[in-house]
A and B are shown apart, each in its own frame.
Chain A
């Protein structure tokens, strides 16, 4: 009797919070994979998961902000490639070898690209997917042009790539997540992003500068894409114009799994983190439990859909609870 009542309350908590249901998915996923292959839960393995997916995880935060405003940015991996290629070439031609400065340069390029997106989308009233599609081609194209379609090899970026193998990526990951968690939850700026995404018209009439908020959001997205570019060159010890090609979809998928609404206004840093983690674990675990690499994308797609449908059901339960309260 007692345990039954408790069980019910657990289900109720899960029904009330989208994050809780995501954690459940995460746990189930880990348990299943560990049973099938006990080596999965090793420190080394988990460390690799975070290192290899730090780019997606970092960019997912920017994408969270963009999606919250009801927009989308598909130019991010092109920005990443352009910024990454630039600092790769700076090293290849021995212009600069200071790791810190190289990071700053990549991030500055990222901000520039992002703000450009933001200005065109907010002031020019261009649909986000169209605007960022344009820049997706432009920045990727420029990455090929400046490098003349060649690579910056491991030897070119030796020294700089040490950072990628140190604790550096972990530190950056933690710092970025902490900063965003605080920003989205407790600051005026975070509140503005949610306001613009939930109801831009009401936000404008309430005195919020919607255009500036949008520009800032795309600027942040660009900054993180630039940072991811710098990290990519360091972690993978090379710079290629086609790096992370097509990975923007993984970033968007991470957000969507994490419960971020594509129509804006809904989503959280914690959800995004869990979403990105689920994506990362899927990618790591599928080979470990012996699923053929050619079948992996199919499985990935199925898992994304299952989680998203679960999300929709949770959301519906929450909405229904709200409605019931209204009726009473």
Chain B
């Protein structure tokens, strides 16, 4: 290989390493700040100031949804800690028991007041008939 070409190959790798290194430093220092939401356990550990708007994500606990008009009460869980959530409005169609949920709002006096609800679905896709079979087994 020509010397000039070798130097340019070095140049290529130096650009790549500097770029990767710089971006890794940024990502490591931001770390969990890049998470979209707190899990219930993380939220209790983080000791969030009251009146601070946050996102909380978890699973909707089985049988915990109580509807009263447009008002909805349910429990978000990460299977370690649980947070009761209240919401007034129309949730997305995919909001249901045993399914992922992300709520935006305030955690006050042991109760999460949600302003917005987003449904988080999983990566599985299957026809309805197969899904029923799977639940039975």
Do A and B come together as binding partners? no
